[in-house]
Amino acid sequence: MSDPFKQATDNRKVLTADESAEGRLDAWITAKLGEEFSRSRVKSLIKEGAVLLNGAAMTDPHRKVRAGESFEITLPPPEDPTPKGEDIPLDVLYEDDDLIVISKPAGLVVHPAAGNWTGTLVNALIHHCGESLSGIGGVRRPGIVHRLDKDTTGVMVVAKNDIAHRHLSQQFADHGRTTPLERAYRAIVWGRPRALTGTIDAPLGRSVGDRTKRAVKRDDNPDADEAITHYEVLERFHEAPDATALASLIDCHLETGRTHQIRVHMAHIGHPLLGDTVYGAGFKTKANLLPDEARKLVSRFPRQALHAYLLQFEHPRTGEVMHFEAPLPEDMEKLAEALRNG
């Protein structure tokens, strides 16, 4: 069988579909390229006109591939996988020879990945900590033992040597069942959960329609990971006589730490986070029920209203229980105030 790849130029490849070729153009090209490019990156290349058929750009990622077709693909130059230090300000809460604790701002990606090779927390940490982070936990995510979403704010701990990385990673993997590890968040959600305190025990896995998203799964699904969130309603905004509310400030304690866990769990029980365009887009029109000033602020709020305000863990060297808290960031304070007074 002939090799489906034929090198055309230094940055181009010709990919020919054989008799077994089938499916969408983006999925087929991704499979042929292997791990070199993600599906989302291939999709972007197609939309940018980087894939040609008989000299014409194929800009529809959904187009079906037919046997015998040869696609010429212009590939971008490879990225250097080793992140470089960048002088990005850090809000340092604590630091010693073993670890650093920071309060992450909104908009800061934790580690380099496709589409975000620079300007990440890892780039900032390499600049701040120097060579001490080199290679700990992997080239692209040195020192990282847990993460927060790009637009989630709050407390994070990062290891500065192998011993600290191993010890902290074990605590996060154990989810605090046998260690002092504790993580708590503040969130502003639409509505008010029926019970003022409760536990959401709903396994999570990748969404079938979009692999960047997470979804609640059945227990017997092979993709399902245990996910448990404990919540408490702290404050209700625009509460009606029947005890309903337009929005609520809640406290969430994680018993597990899955990707997007709080966002998916709260949406699952009908109370998605304000500003969450991924899991709560259908609730955006609820802002129209607010008075003018509050409505404007809520409508313009640029991120999910989620803040990791508390982190507790055992120090990997001394065994001391370390406890850190970060107050609500200014944007969430203003949002709560607008809901409170609007």
Q: Domain containing 212: what range?
A: 182-341
What's the CA angle centered on 194, arms 190 and 198, to 5 degrees?
100
pTM: 0.77
Asked whether residue 27 is assigned to any structural domain, the reply reads: yes
Q: Give the pLDDT confidence score for residue 135 in this predicted structure.
A: 65
pLDDT at site 202:
97
- Looking at the structure, tell me whether residues 193 and 128 fall in a common domain: no
Q: What is the DSSP string of 15-44?
A: EE--TT--SBHHHHHHHHHGGGS-HHHHHH
149: in domain:
yes
Mean residue pLDDT across the chain: 89
Residue 86 lies in a domain: no
Q: How many domains does the chain have?
A: 3
Amino acid at site 167: H
Q: Domain for residue 80, yes or no?
A: no
Residue numbers annotated as active site: 149
Per-residue pLDDT at 35 exceeds 70: no
Question: Contact at 8 Å (CB) between 229 and 262?
Answer: yes
Asked if residue 232 belongs to a domain, the reply is: yes
The residue among 133 and 258 whose pLDDT is bigger is 258
- Residue 9: pLDDT band with limits 50, 70, 90: very low
Is the domain of 159 the same as that of 194?
no
Task: Let me know whether 205 and 318 are in one domain.
Answer: yes
Q: Give a yes or no: residue 79 inside a domain.
A: no
Q: Which CATH number covers residue 286?
A: 3.30.2350.10
Tell me, what's the pLDDT at 7?
38
Distance CA 193, CA 200 (A): 11
Lowest mean pLDDT among 30-34, 35-39, 150-154, 250-254: 35-39
Question: What's the pLDDT tens digit per position in 109-136?
Answer: 998 876 677 899 999 999 999 877 756 7
CA dist., res. 21 & res. 66, Å (int)? 7
Given a cut of 80, whether residue 332 has pLDDT beyond it is yes
Residues 301, 162, single domain; the answer is no
Q: pLDDT, tens digit, for every residue of 276-318? A: 999 998 888 888 888 888 899 999 999 999 999 999 999 999 9
- What's the CATH number where 42 sits? 3.10.290.10
With a pLDDT cut of 90, the percent of the chain lying above it is 62
- Tell whether the model's pLDDT for residue 3 goes beyond 60: no
